[in-house]
């Protein structure tokens, strides 16, 4: 009961937070634009500083102990009649202002997109229609235990004072969705330049390194030969634009099944099917293994060996992975 109450509360809070944060972000971006313009117009240190024509510290035409010394008419080291008394300090303050506003904008973007993730919208189209608040509520419950000990592949958590039903995503679907969200935002560092769409990531990290693009929910365009995908339905057959291509690999998210079965298509119409408690884990391992062997260890924009990803480590343990 407590979890479902928390989920309902979180749902309303997230909706309100998202609207407020969007308004704050818009205002911050306006302020940031003005701050950058002001910074660009600020003269570099040395133009009117020590040794300048009207500079303070000594050595200028009116510097030293005459005009422009401490408190001089044309600028010195104290309050002057014209301009800043320290151009270098003025430049530094404006740089600090730009940096702080940039950080504030990034924080708003991160928070808004994290809210989208907890509302099953990042990436879109993978989970079935889900009541507001369930995803965030169940993620909190799974996070309370070590190694998702409360994971139940064919069901989930109670919600809205009712027991779990097939109207809600099961834990296997939720884990698959979170894995895709992690691939789209490696290390949970949210980019200011974009977020996953229903078509998937439009970015390709591995063109030069032999990697491929990453797609979610819908299959890639027909011209794409090398890719990794997690789809909401079965890919087109051989000759279409599905994962039947030799260098394409797709996991199909199960829909409306009491016992979820994950199908993995790699280079043919006949899929590998993984079910049971380990089905989702094995299908995602197959996806990572294909990327490792065929795409140079790259999943979309994610390098599996990166320190903040560490997906390569799953293939460095003794025993069988699949």
* pLDDT band at 76; cut points 50, 70, 90: very low
Mean pLDDT of 41-70: 52
Q: Which of 37-51, 68-82, 84-98 has the lowest mean pLDDT?
A: 68-82
Q: What is the pLDDT of residue 110?
A: 86
Q: Is the pTM of this model over 0.95?
A: no
pLDDT at 63 (0 to 100): 46
For residue 151, the tally of other CB atoms under 10 A from its CB is 18
| Per-residue model confidence (pLDDT) at position 54 | 42
- How far apart (Å, rounded) are the C-alpha atoms in residues 136 and 120? 9
What is the chain's length? 322
Asked if residue 161 lies in contact with residue 176, where contact means CB atoms within 8 angstroms, the answer is no
Place of tokens 């958590």: 157
Q: Which two tokens stand for residue 137?
A: 């509520």
Angle at 192 between CA 187 and CA 195, to 5 degrees: 70
Question: Could you report the per-residue pLDDT of 165-222, keeping only the tens digit for each?
Answer: 888 999 999 999 999 998 888 777 776 655 444 344 444 444 444 557 889 998 888 7
- Please return the burial class of 309, using the count of CB atoms within 10 Å of its CB with bins 0-12, 13-18 and 19+: middle
Average pLDDT of span 93-115: 90
Residue 210 and residue 101: Cα distance in Å, rounded?
Answer: 38
- Enumerate residues 6+ apart whose C-beta is below 8 A from 27: none
When pLDDT is averaged across residues 22-27 and rounded to a whole number, the result is 90
**In whole numbers, what is the pLDDT of the chain averaged over residues?**
77
CA distances from 79 to 38, 45, 76 (A): 21, 18, 7
What the block records as the tokens of 279 is 């089905």
Task: Supply the pLDDT for residue 204.
Answer: 44
Residue 155: pLDDT over 70: yes
* pLDDT tens column, 212-241: 788 999 888 878 878 889 998 887 765 554
């Amino acid at each position: 009961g407590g979890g479902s109450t928390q989920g309902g509360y979180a749902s309303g809070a997230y909706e309100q937070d998202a609207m407020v944060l969007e308004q704050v972000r818009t205002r911050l971006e306006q302020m940031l634009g003005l701050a950058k313009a002001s910074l660009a117009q600020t003269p570099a240190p040395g133009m009117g500083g020590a040794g300048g024509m009207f500079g303070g510290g000594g050595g200028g035409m009116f510097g030293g102990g005459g005009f422009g010394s401490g408190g001089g008419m044309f600028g010195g080291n104290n309050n002057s009649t014209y301009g800043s008394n320290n151009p270098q300090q003025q430049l530094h303050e404006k740089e600090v202002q730009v940096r702080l506003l940039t950080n504030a904008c990034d924080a708003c973007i991160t928070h808004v997109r994290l809210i989208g993730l907890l509302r099953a919208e990042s990436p879109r189209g993978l989970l079935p229609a889900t009541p507001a608040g369930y995803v965030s509520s169940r993620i909190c419950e799974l996070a309370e235990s070590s190694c998702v000990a409360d994971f139940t592949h064919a069901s989930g958590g109670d919600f809205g004072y009712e027991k779990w039903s097939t109207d809600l995503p099961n834990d296997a679907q939720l884990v698959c969705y979170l894995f895709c969200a992690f691939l789209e935002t490696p290390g949970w560092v949210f980019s200011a330049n974009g977020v996953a769409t229903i078509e998937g990531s439009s970015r390709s990290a591995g063109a030069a390194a032999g990697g491929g693009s990453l797609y979610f929910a819908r299959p890639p365009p027909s011209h794409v030969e090398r890719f990794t995908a997690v789809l909401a339905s079965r890919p087109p057959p051989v000759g279409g634009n599905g994962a039947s291509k030799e260098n394409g690999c797709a996991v199909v998210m199960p829909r409306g099944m009491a016992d979820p079965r994950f199908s993995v298509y790699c280079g043919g119409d006949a899929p590998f099917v993984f079910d049971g408690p380990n089905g989702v884990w094995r299908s995602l391992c197959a996806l990572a293994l294909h990327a490792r062997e065929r795409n140079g260890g790259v999943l979309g924009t994610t390098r599996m060996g990166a320190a903040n990803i560490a997906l390569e480590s799953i293939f460095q343990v003794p025993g069988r992975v699949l």
